[in-house]
Structure 1
Amino acid sequence: MQLLFHYNWLIRDEWYSWCEDLTEEELLKNRTGGVGSILQTLFHIVDVEWSWIRLIQGKEDFQENFDDYKSISKVRELDARFHKEVEEFVNNWDENMESNKFYDLQSDGSHLTDTWGEVMRHIIAHEIHHIGQLSVWAREIGKKPISANFIGRGLGTH
């Protein structure tokens, strides 16, 4: 599980660097699919990862406002601020945490019961899904996307 988080973080950092060559207009342009723009998608990835990690630990979650993060440098700063807490939790993950129960209160007042392991895999899949959207958008604007290849990144020795 930790390797896939490390993979996502590495890919995300490469996307941040990739975005530095784009204009603000291109970063904020509303696109089909996803949560809107390239920048808003990166913001969403960071926010969702941090929120889920906090929620399964029983910590308070609060929503950041994207309007406060409308530059690649601001999204990177937010990521760095949240990452310390996320990385500490991920790096301390052990199999005993896998079946811990998470009770998710729904808007209709009902509860869904998941395990921490299910939530962790959801976080991983969520980011991979949105990175795929970024890849499609990159091709639409004529730029080569970041490779999604796990092989050759040295993660197996991490």
Structure 2
Amino acid sequence: MKHFFEYNWQIRDEIIELCKDLSHEDLFRKRQGGLGSIAETFYHIIKVEHNWIRDLQAKSILENVFHDFTSFNQIIELSRTLRPEIKEYVLKWHPDIENNILNVKPGNGKQIHCTYGEAIRHIIAHEIHHVGQLSIWFREMGLTPVNSNLIHRGLFINNHQYSSK
């Protein structure tokens, strides 16, 4: 499981590098599909990952919203600020909590009832899903999206640990 979080963080950092060459207008422009813009989708990935980890720890979630962020650099900083807490939880993950039950009622009012294992896997899949949307938008802009291949990232061989930035 830890390797897949490391994978997502590698991809996220590579997307940040790709986005550094884009204008504010390109990053915040409303687009077809997804959450509407590259910046908002990127914010959503970060926020949802953190919210779920906080839910798994029975901690309150942060009360920020996308409109609080007026630059992509602020969103990047949010990712860098929240990652250590997430990484700490992920590195402590143990199979013994896999079947613990999580019951939360998020802001949309729909009750969520699942195992911790389902929730942690959902976090991983959620980011991969949205990276696919970002890749489509990058292609539409004439850019080559980041290579999302899991192989050759050094995640499983030699017990490589990705160091967060």
TM-score relative to the length of structure 1: 0.94
Instruction: Give the corresponding residue for 2:163.
Output: none
1:43–1:75: 8 Å Cα contact kept in structure 2? Answer: yes
The number of residues matched between the two structures is 158
* Partner Cα distance (2:12, 2:4) in 1: 12
1:154 counterpart SS class? coil
Deviations 1:45-80 (A, max 9, x none): 000000000012110113312122232211111111
Pairwise mapping of residues 1-158 of structure 1 onto structure 2 (< 5 A)?
A: 1-105=1-105, 111-156=111-156, 157-158=159-160
1:104–1:114: 8 Å Cα contact kept in structure 2? Answer: no
Identity within the alignment, %: 44
Q: CA deviation at 1:131?
A: 0.1
TM-score relative to the length of structure 2: 0.90
Structure 1 stretch 103-112 or stretch 91-100: which is displaced more?
Answer: 103-112
* Partner Cα distance (2:108, 2:26) in 1: 38
User: Structure 1: any 5+ residue segments left out of the alignment?
Assistant: none
* Partner Cα distance (1:109, 1:151) in 2: 39
User: Structure 2: any 5+ residue segments left out of the alignment?
Assistant: 161-165
* Partner Cα distance (2:110, 2:145) in 1: 41
2:145 counterpart SS class? coil
